[in-house]
């Protein structure tokens, strides 16, 4: 088994048994993450919703449909990227993540990022953008997602240089065609970088 596969399996096993915060009591399945272990890009969402909680798969509801459409618009099948979340367990009624939950759960995402060693981290929505910018020492770049979506921030990860691209959360485009257009434009930036990485 390749190192990355072994590491991701270890993270999966730990997540399934996790009792580090109370969310394990109310969730159905943890949503560990899914996709290509050699992905050049990781998409980071906030937390599983109802559909994800039932299936254990990230972004499999309406927001996931939008994400698939956005990926298709730049010629990327879902299988070519990796999709994860800050929280692996669903907060009841989809409430916002709490600080203690992020603190308990985020190390799993951090380990996933370090195992996959992506070139790009695309942060979906405000929570993910704040978390990822902070993680890579870019606190001073944090602004509302309406200000920083589609911008590209360079950071130094332990495994090399990465680009961080904050994006609107796909859920905002479920019923809003303008937002989908904005997201599509921002995805073109990703397309460019992926083409240059080939």
Q: Is 167 in the site for ligand URA (CB under 6 A)?
A: no
Contact criterion met (CB below 8 Å) for 177 and 168: no
Report the residue number whose CB is nearest to ligand URA.
45
Q: How far is the CB of 188 from ligand URA (least distance, A)?
A: 22
Q: Where are the alpha helices (DSSP H) in the chain?
A: 3-16, 23-26, 50-55, 62-73, 99-116, 126-135, 145-148, 177-197
Q: How far is the CB of 198 from ligand URA (least distance, A)?
A: 28
How far apart, in Å, do the first and last CA atoms of the chain sit? Answer: 25
How do beta strands 82-85 and 34-35 pair?
A: antiparallel
Using CB under 6 A as the binding criterion, the count of chain residues that bind ligand URA stands at 11
Q: Is 52 in the site for ligand URA (CB under 6 A)?
A: yes
What are the angstrom distances between the C-alpha of 169 and each of 96, 126, 161, 183? 14, 8, 24, 9
Closest C-alpha to 56, from 84, 23, 19: 84
Q: Is 63 in the site for ligand URA (CB under 6 A)?
A: yes
Q: Is 126 in the site for ligand URA (CB under 6 A)?
A: no
Pick one of 30, 33, 35, 45: the residue that binds ligand URA (CB under 6 A): 45
- Tell me the three state secondary structure of residue 63: helix
Q: Is 47 in the site for ligand URA (CB under 6 A)?
A: yes
Residue 48 vs 118, nearer CB to ligand URA: 48
**Interface residues for ligand URA in 83-102 (CB under 6 A)?**
85
Stretch that binds ligand URA, among 43-51, 100-108, 157-165, 189-197 (CB under 6 A): 43-51
Chain residues that interact with ligand URA, rule: CB under 6 A: 31, 45-49, 52, 58-59, 63, 85
């Amino acid at each position: 088994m390749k190192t990355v596969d072994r590491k991701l399996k270890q993270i999966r096993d730990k997540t399934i048994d996790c009792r580090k915060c109370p969310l394990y009591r109310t969730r159905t399945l943890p949503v560990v993450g899914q996709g290509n272990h050699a992905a050049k890009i990781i998409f980071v969402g906030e937390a599983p919703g109802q559909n994800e909680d039932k299936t254990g798969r990230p972004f499999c509801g309406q927001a996931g449909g939008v994400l698939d459409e956005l990926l298709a618009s730049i010629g990327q099948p879902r299988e070519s990227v990796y999709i994860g979340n800050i929280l692996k367990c669903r907060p009841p009624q989809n409430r916002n993540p709490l600080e203690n939950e992020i603190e308990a759960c985020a190390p799993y995402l951090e380990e996933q990022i370090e195992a996959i060693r992506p070139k790009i981290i695309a942060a979906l929505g405000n929570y993910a953008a704040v978390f990822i910018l902070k993680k890579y020492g870019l606190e001073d770049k944090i602004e509302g997602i309406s200000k920083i979506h589609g911008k590209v921030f360079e950071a130094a990860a332990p495994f090399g240089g990465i680009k961080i691209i904050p994006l609107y959360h796909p859920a905002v485009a479920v019923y809003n065609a303008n937002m989908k257009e904005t997201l599509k434009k921002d995805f073109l930036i990703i397309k460019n970088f992926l083409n240059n990485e080939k």
